[in-house]
């Protein structure tokens, strides 16, 4: 039997991949309660940030729609309503902090809709936290009444040991959040997304230019991409399409690069202050890097914008999106600053409701 064609396998396993930033704010959320600062009182919808969480949606090999949530924070109910979520197959937890875990109770609605359990992936430390906080879910036989609680299937994961969720290959990446070991996640199609990305690049190059601008209309009004060469910024700003959800305004940088392959491979690295040596190899060949960037002042458990830019440069993903921002970072001002320093073509702030997806081929190279 001939060896399988890895590229065709990867494109067959999952398709129609969409990645949505459900929340991009730090633990207090923006606006912060009782704060009158410029960002907390901003009228720019991109300055309103729910707690950091994201959703990856795709169609599996059997044609079934799938949805994988990264973290279930205290804003999950509002995020699910805003995004119109109708199903949830799995949750990947990055760590045990409240702003990433205290929405788990809400997922019982998806159990009811789907009439089935939800797979939950966490390392041993986070798993123990979830079982302690949510005893009414994980130890339901002890509940006094037979109440409506979530039905979950717990899975322990280990750094560096990949697993598969409905054709999505997931690799837990060890990261440091101050002294706390936490997980990032590398997400890609099962069967070798490296090949897919390479073929996407080759196709983009053959269409004339390594990062030719993609038509904004082709982005279905959803992706506010980051990418392309500096001289394209003006054109992209003029063509930039709106983000999904609460926005209606274009980013300073417009729709992104000539890539048509979608957001994968993607690494999700929120709540990080340092990347251990063994993790850099898991961050190679990325289309998308999602990375912590709390503020400009140093913080013991989060990255500053400058530190995040340094990591982004070394990782060299096609596009880097920052998350977990505090009210020190206004969206428009920070993006203008990144543009002035020449970083905005490859890296910038995400905002709530932003969706990344394949752009199709029509717009590329035109
Ligand atoms: Zn956090
Ligand atoms: Zn504020
Ligand atoms: Zn945290």
Q: What does the pLDDT look like over 103-157, one tens digit per residue?
A: 999 999 999 999 999 999 999 999 999 999 999 999 999 999 999 999 999 999 9
126: CA distance to ligand 3 center in Å? 11
DSSP state of 300: S
Cite the beta strand spans of the chain per DSSP E: 15-23, 53-59, 65-70, 90-92, 118-122, 152-156, 163-165, 168-177, 180-189, 266-269, 288-292, 319-323, 347-349, 355-357
Q: By mean pLDDT, which of 32-36, 101-105, 194-198, 307-311 is the weakest?
A: 194-198
Positive or negative, the Cα torsion across 72, 74, 75, 78? positive
176: CA distance to ligand 1 center in Å? 13
Domain residue limits, the chain: 6-357
Predicted local confidence at residue 360, as pLDDT: 53
Predicted local confidence at residue 49, as pLDDT: 98
pTM: 0.81
Up-side HSE of residue 296: CA atoms within 13 Å toward CB? 7
The superfamily CATH assigns to domain 6-357 is Ribonuclease Z/Hydroxyacylglutathione hydrolase-like (3.60.15.10)
pLDDT tens digits for 18-27? 999 999 999 9
282: CA distance to ligand 1 center in Å? 22
166: CA distance to ligand 3 center in Å? 28
Indicate the pairing of strand 288-292 with strand 266-269: parallel
Alpha-carbon span 84 to 198, nearest angstrom: 33
> Is 79 in contact with 23 (CB distance < 8 Å)?
yes
54: CA distance to ligand 3 center in Å? 15
Q: Looking at the CA of 39, which ligand is closest?
A: 2
> Is 146 in contact with 113 (CB distance < 8 Å)?
no
Up-side HSE of residue 194: CA atoms within 13 Å toward CB? 5
pLDDT tens digits for 326-343? 999 999 999 999 999 999
177: CA distance to ligand 3 center in Å? 7
């Amino acid at each position: 039997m001939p060896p399988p064609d890895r590229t065709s396998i990867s494109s067959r396993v999952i398709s129609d991949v969409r990645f949505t930033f459900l929340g991009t704010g730090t633990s207090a959320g923006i606006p912060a309660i009782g704060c009158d600062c410029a960002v907390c009182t901003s009228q720019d919808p991109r300055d309103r940030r729910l707690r950091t969480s994201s959703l990856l949606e795709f169609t599996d090999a059997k044609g079934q729609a799938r949805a994988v949530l990264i973290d279930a924070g205290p804003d999950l109910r509002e995020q699910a309503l805003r995004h119109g979520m109708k199903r949830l197959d799995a949750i990947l937890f990055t760590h045990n902090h409240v702003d990433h875990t205290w929405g788990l109770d809400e997922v019982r609605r998806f159990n009811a809709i789907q009439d089935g359990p939800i797979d939950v992936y966490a390392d041993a430390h986070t798993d123990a936290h979830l079982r302690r906080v949510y005893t009414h879910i994980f130890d339901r036989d002890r509940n006094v009444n037979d109440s409506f609680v979530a039905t979950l299937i717990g899975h322990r994961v280990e750094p560096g040991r990949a697993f598969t969720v409905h054709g999505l290959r997931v690799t837990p990446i060890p990261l440091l959040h101050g002294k706390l070991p936490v997980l990032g996640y590398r997400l890609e199609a099962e069967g070798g997304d490296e090949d897919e990305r390479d073929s996407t690049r080759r196709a983009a190059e053959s269409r004339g230019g390594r990062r030719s601008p993609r038509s904004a209309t082709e982005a279905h009004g959803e992706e506010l991409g980051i990418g392309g060469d500096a001289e394209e910024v003006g054109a992209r700003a003029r063509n930039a399409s709106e983000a999904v959800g609460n926005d209606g305004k274009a980013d300073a940088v417009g729709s992104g690069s000539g890539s048509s392959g979608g957001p994968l491979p993607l690494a999700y690295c929120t709540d990080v202050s340092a990347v251990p040596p063994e993790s850099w190899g898991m961050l190679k060949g990325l289309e998308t890097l999602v990375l912590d960037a709390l503020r400009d002042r140093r913080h013991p458990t989060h990255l500053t914008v400058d530190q995040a830019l340094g990591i982004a440069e070394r990782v060299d993903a096609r596009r880097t999106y920052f998350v977990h921002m505090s009210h020190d970072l206004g969206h428009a001002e920070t993006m203008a600053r990144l543009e002035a320093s020449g970083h905005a073509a490859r890296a910038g702030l995400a905002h709530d409701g932003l969706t990344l997806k394949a752009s199709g081929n029509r717009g590329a190279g035109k």
